Amino acid sequence: MFANHDKSLTFMRSYAPRLCFLFSALLLASFAEAQIVRGLVKDELGSPMPGVTVRIDGTSIGSATNLDGEYTIQRAPTGEQVLIFSFIGYKQERKTINVLPGGEVEVNHVMELDQEILEEFVVVGYGVQRRREVTGAITKVDAKKITDIPTPSFEAGLQGKASGVQVTTGSGLAGSASVVRIRGIASISAAGDPLYVVDGIPITQDFFLNQNRGGMNNNPLATINPNDIESIEVLKDAAATGIYGSRGANGVILITTKRGTGTGWKHNLETRHGISMPTARPNMLNSQQYLQLRQEAWENDGNVGLASLPGGITWDQARRTNTDWVDETVGIGLKQSYNYSAQFGSRNVDVFSSIGYEDNGSYLIGNSYERTAFRTNVNYRVNKDLELTASTSITRGVNNRVDAAWSGGLGAAMSNALPIYPITYRDTVRNSDGELLYLPGDYWDQGANPVRQRELQDWRTTEWRSINSISVNYTPMKNLFIQGYVGYDYMDLKDDRYLDARLLNGQRNSVVNSLAERFPTWVNNWNTNGTATYIDDRNKDHVLTYMVGFEYQQSTTRAYNRLWRQDQFVNSSFLDTPGLLDQRFQEERITEAGDTIPATPGVFSDGTRSEVFNFISTFARVNYAMKDKYFGQFTMRTDGSSRFGENNRYGFFPSASAGWIISEEDFLKGSENVSFLKLRAGWGITGNAAIPNYQQFGQYELRQNGYNGQDFRFLAVRPNPDIRWETANIFDVGIEAGFFDDRLTTTISFYNKNTTDVLLNLTPQPSTGFGNFWDNVGQIINRGVELDIGAIVMDRERVLWRLDFNAAYNYNEITSIGNYTPDAVSGGTNDTRVVVGKPVGTNFLVRHVGVDPETGRNIYLDSDGNQTNDWDPINRVPVGRVLPLAVGGLTNTFSFGRWEVGMVLVYSLGSNIYDSSSKRQLGVVTDWNMRDEIFDRWRQPGDQAEYAQLSLQPENFGVGDPFQLNTTQWLHPGDYLRFRRLSVSYNVPSFKFGSLDFDGAIITLTAMNFLTFTNFPGLDPEIARDFENPTDRNMSPNITFLTPPQEQSYTISFNLRF
């Protein structure tokens, strides 16, 4: 990890792909004579070295050494030739030989380590640095770890692999977004997500472009093909993120895509097939059970006769029906993916190109995320001073949507789709006037019917995404490097839904038309920057590196609030007829470019939204290296943004840090036990600028089709000329150490982050007529410790056992919310609040102490701790925390010859889960189905029951509205330990198939999320709900409301290299 030594080389070599050029040799075979060049290649220790590329310069004729280090080049051209030996981590070397016609030449060679390459490099903001010189807290996650499990989106692959990075995978919905938090959470209303930078461009990362439609937020990261990622660097402290200024406070995730390397062509084909299912199934009541309990509640309420049933259902009908709605909405998801990539490397040109298709089916019937991705990255070295780099990716992500959570589907199966409801009518139904309403087989529509909802609508979100960049690197003189960069990130997001007329009104006498609606959004995100770097290494003991740069970013978002039309094409759908929706909109001349409402009735636009924001920045970094053991870094950035108020136009963000490689000191040098020891410390100020646009100016909104069909406009946002970024003051100190020749490596970091000017989206008095306004009023502390341990537990001839463990503890506290009350900012379902002295996202609940054995009523505590049967919001107290205290992961990799077993465990400790759905699943008997735990209810005096006496009347629970019943009864421990991955792979060595040579293949069986240990009584302890807005996303993870559980999957993948 830190030092150069032969163990790591062995490790690297065993993983390095072997190179081969046989196809070109074959091509030339028809006209070349039968000259042979052969030989033996050894490493610096004298061992035979497999996989070394040996090539004849100027041709594509070459070979690779076999396991014994031997190579043979057939049909070498005659005359004087230059033989090139290359292998990653070793110096490329050239040898001149003379080949006679029909002759045979033997050339043996000893490879020499390339010290510079072997140093591990990490990507930092606007550059790369040697790992040993880094003075900030950066965790690097390489490609293999990102793609080791099939996740809905690449960021989920980070879970458990980087200390201090809390990844809560999105729910079981296909393509869903994870919640990623670096070192806790320091924002309340502004987005608390890290800044995502792909190959230099801060990408569009708004999770609310599609709002919360259907119980899901759009995931702007899902279109990134994980297979294209070379590495992910997670920048955590101010020394690392300071260079990103006003956007670095919540950490930065740098994504670097693959580049062409080595020499010649390398190909990689990977396929994956698998199945998925939920980690847990809801245990809802069946029809008989539901009727029994409803009748019991009815009688408890003093009624006689049969209980009235929801949905206009009679008892006779109810008794004849027993629909298992969970079965109707949950199935087995099918997954398949195919990725082909080719890499080419040569003296002047490197190319990486890939094409991939993935169909990631979730366990929800009808739900899958399909991604078709294409990427090409090219490096062209014009000459030794000039290099051009271009990257382009085009991705089409199609989310075949279903309703979830509060919107229906499985959410309905867990709530208001009762087992007494049928899927279809059995009999003909007429109204009192004798009109035909339903025929047998028509969908039943008198209550929730998730099957009808799914079958009678087509719903598809299509995202076209293209992330591109061009850069020019010029070296006008020794040690001066100038880079110019332009990046462009384009997003075209269309959420299309077609609702069959029968869904809008199922009765056969209805004249309701079908409805087609589209929610289109376009984002154009431009970024350009330039940097100049000068390395002053005249004195090798005092090397100074200066970097200065500027950056300009502009992002424009344009969206229709909705385009819709009602039509009579009942029997057709746009999924069956590709382009139908486009065609229908085109007919009315509502095009992407047009903004006018057509005169023709039938097609409507609910108005458009158009926003632009920009950042203008300058930045500088100075690095100082003394004798390769003392390092210092100073960064500064000045950001101006259109989002900042005129009174706070520019922010200045400095950082300073230092590192000391103690192991280079005489007293440790040569130590047998301590192979590496570094102390680093850093301080800096960074910001979070995720402020909605135009807050500084205020805003009127213009709308069409208002009252009496008139256009209208209204004041929506009051100006706030003082609005500014959140300011994080971060201190970090860390120790990095390697022991026993780096067989054991460890990093421990302590940090303290004080965030001030925290943005709150405050709710003023409703009588102002304003819903919310933004202001910088809060303060938050995050402090914590992180630990990474890497160990090679066993390293025998054919057995290698590697263990990686990480843990992170984070303490989070809100220290101020200005003069506001906890209710001024709220999370999703009215259950989390901002309370001074408590963490962000504190559950704010009435305490529930149990069920009175004598009366069967719930007992609550008032604010003074006295028992009461009445639920009153005035008695809410801060309890529980949605943020875990500790998260981490443990990865074990066992290699036995060609077999490898990998196991990843992840854990989360110290959080609570608030199961908001339980209010109705286990509370008042309503038109929601209940869970079978409800059988433990009070029935007679003396009963020690978990749940109160059944009743249809909320007042018997001390409340008027069952939805208000937020109590600690539904607050549960959220600790869990999960087997995230178990995989078994077999490495097939290089082989021939017919006339084709292959470098190798890997077959892997992977089980994901197959076992979880938890005390949480609900479905799954890992919860990222659908969120309403960034505030909700910050404050209410770990709140579940009909949230689909995580998926478990079993896949087989096949990787072929040639």
Partner 1 sequence: MNRFTKFKIPAILATATMLMLASCSDLLEQKPPDTGDNVLPSEAIRTASDLQEVLISAYDVLANTYNGGMQNLGTLLTDDLDRPFNQDNYNEIWLRSTSIFNGSAGGVFFNAYIAILRANTVMQNLDIPEDLTPAERARIEAEARFIRALCHFDLVRLWAQPYNFSPNNSHPGIAIRTTTDVENVGRNTVAEVYDFILEDIAFAKQEGVLTPNVEVYASQTAALALEACVRFQMHQYDLAYTLADQVINSGQVMFDPDNVSRYQFPEAGSEAIFYIFSFEFGPGNVDSRNAAFRGNYLSEAPNVTLRLSEDFYEAATLGPEGAPRDTLFEEREIDGNFFFVTKLFNPEFFNIPIFTYTQMMLIRAECAGELNQNLDQAIADINAIRQRAYNSVVFNLTSSASDQTVINAARAESRLENAFTGQRLHDLKRRGAQGENIIIRGATWDCPGMVLQFPATEETDLFPLNPAGGC
Residues 575-604 that bind partner 1 (CB under 8 A): 595, 601-602, 604
Q: Is 618 in the site for partner 1 (CB under 8 A)?
A: yes
Phi, psi torsion values for 1018, nearest 5 degrees:
-85, -150
Q: How far is the CB of 820 from partner 1 (least distance, A)?
A: 9
Q: Is 774 in the site for partner 1 (CB under 8 A)?
A: no
176 contacts 445 by C-beta, under 8 angstroms: no
Helices (H) and strands (E) in the chain, counts: 14, 55
> Residue 11 or residue 546: which is nearer to partner 1 going by CB?
546
Q: Which of 291, 356, 286 is closest to 327 using CA atoms?
A: 286
Q: Is 764 in the site for partner 1 (CB under 8 A)?
A: yes
Near partner 1 in 98-157, by CB under 8 A:
none
CA atoms within 13 A on the CB side of 955: 1
Q: Is 501 in the site for partner 1 (CB under 8 A)?
A: no
Near partner 1 in 674-693, by CB under 8 A:
693
> Residue 306 or residue 748: which is nearer to partner 1 going by CB?
306
Q: Is 647 in the site for partner 1 (CB under 8 A)?
A: no
> Residue 108 or residue 505: which is nearer to partner 1 going by CB?
505
**Given 853, 962, 973, 1000, the residue binding partner 1 (CB under 8 A):** 962
> Residue 455 or residue 927: which is nearer to partner 1 going by CB?
927
User: Of the listed pieces 58-66, 110-118, 643-651, 908-916, which binds partner 1 according to CB under 8 A?
Assistant: 643-651
Residue with tokens 């490495």: 987
User: Of the listed pieces 78-86, 102-110, 618-626, 794-802, which binds partner 1 according to CB under 8 A?
Assistant: 618-626
> Residue 620 or residue 677: which is nearer to partner 1 going by CB?
620
**Given 768, 863, 867, 1015, the residue binding partner 1 (CB under 8 A):** 768
Near partner 1 in 465-494, by CB under 8 A:
none
Q: Is 324 in the site for partner 1 (CB under 8 A)?
A: no
Near partner 1 in 287-306, by CB under 8 A:
305-306
Q: How far is the CB of 873 from partner 1 (least distance, A)?
A: 6
Q: Which helix (H) or strand (E) holds 288?
A: helix 287-300
Near partner 1 in 531-550, by CB under 8 A:
536, 538-539, 542, 544, 546, 548, 550
Q: How far is the CB of 297 from partner 1 (least distance, A)?
A: 11
Near partner 1 in 867-886, by CB under 8 A:
872-874
Q: Round to whole Å and give the CA distance between 626 and 527.
A: 35
> Residue 145 or residue 919: which is nearer to partner 1 going by CB?
919
Tell me, what DSSP letter sits at residue 968?
G
> Residue 665 or residue 701: which is nearer to partner 1 going by CB?
701
User: Of the listed pieces 108-116, 184-192, 616-624, 890-898, which binds partner 1 according to CB under 8 A?
Assistant: 616-624
Long-range contacts of 336-340 (CB under 8 A, 24+ apart): 336/271, 336/272, 336/273, 336/274, 337/150, 337/270, 337/271, 337/272, 338/269, 338/270, 338/271, 339/225, 339/227, 339/268, 339/269, 339/270, 339/271, 340/267, 340/268, 340/269, 340/270
- Count of Cβ atoms closer than 10 Å to residue 347 Cβ: 10
Site string for partner 1, 778-817 (x = CB under 8 A): ----------------------------------------
Asked whether the CA dihedral 920, 924, 928, 930 is positive or negative, the reply is: positive
Q: Is 926 in the site for partner 1 (CB under 8 A)?
A: yes
**Given 48, 89, 127, 310, the residue binding partner 1 (CB under 8 A):** 310
Q: How far is the CB of 457 from partner 1 (least distance, A)?
A: 20
For residue 1057, the SS3 value is: strand
> Residue 10 or residue 524: which is nearer to partner 1 going by CB?
524
> Residue 151 or residue 956: which is nearer to partner 1 going by CB?
956
Burial class of residue 175, CB neighbours in 10 A (0-12, 13-18, 19+): buried
Q: What is the identity of the amino acid at 141? A: V
For residue 585, the SS3 value is: helix
CA atoms within 13 A on the CB side of 99: 26
DSSP structure string for 302-323: T--SSPP-GGG--HHHHHT---
**Given 74, 271, 648, 763, the residue binding partner 1 (CB under 8 A):** 763
Near partner 1 in 933-952, by CB under 8 A:
952
For residue 59, the SS3 value is: coil
Q: Which of 650, 458, 638, 438 is closest to 551 using CA atoms?
A: 638
Q: How far is the CB of 954 from partner 1 (least distance, A)?
A: 6
Q: Is 613 in the site for partner 1 (CB under 8 A)?
A: yes
Near partner 1 in 2-41, by CB under 8 A:
none
**Given 57, 230, 611, 813, the residue binding partner 1 (CB under 8 A):** 611
Q: Is 667 in the site for partner 1 (CB under 8 A)?
A: no
Q: Which helix (H) or strand (E) holds 928?
A: none
882 to 185, 429, 650, 1013, 1038: CA distances (angstroms): 11, 50, 34, 19, 5
223 contacts 371 by C-beta, under 8 angstroms: yes
760 contacts 189 by C-beta, under 8 angstroms: yes
Q: Is 285 in the site for partner 1 (CB under 8 A)?
A: no
Q: Round to whole Å and give the CA distance between 588 and 276.
A: 42
Site size for partner 1 (CB under 8 A): 106
432 contacts 262 by C-beta, under 8 angstroms: no
Q: Is 211 in the site for partner 1 (CB under 8 A)?
A: no
Q: Is 991 in the site for partner 1 (CB under 8 A)?
A: no
> Residue 715 or residue 1052: which is nearer to partner 1 going by CB?
715
Q: How far is the CB of 538 from partner 1 (least distance, A)?
A: 8
> Residue 439 or residue 716: which is nearer to partner 1 going by CB?
716
Q: Round to whole Å and give the CA distance between 228 and 340.
A: 10
Q: How far is the CB of 1040 from partner 1 (least distance, A)?
A: 20
**Given 10, 92, 289, 566, the residue binding partner 1 (CB under 8 A):** 566
Phi-psi region of 12 (alpha: psi -120 to 50; beta: other; left: phi over 0): alpha
> Residue 27 or residue 716: which is nearer to partner 1 going by CB?
716
Q: Is 706 in the site for partner 1 (CB under 8 A)?
A: yes
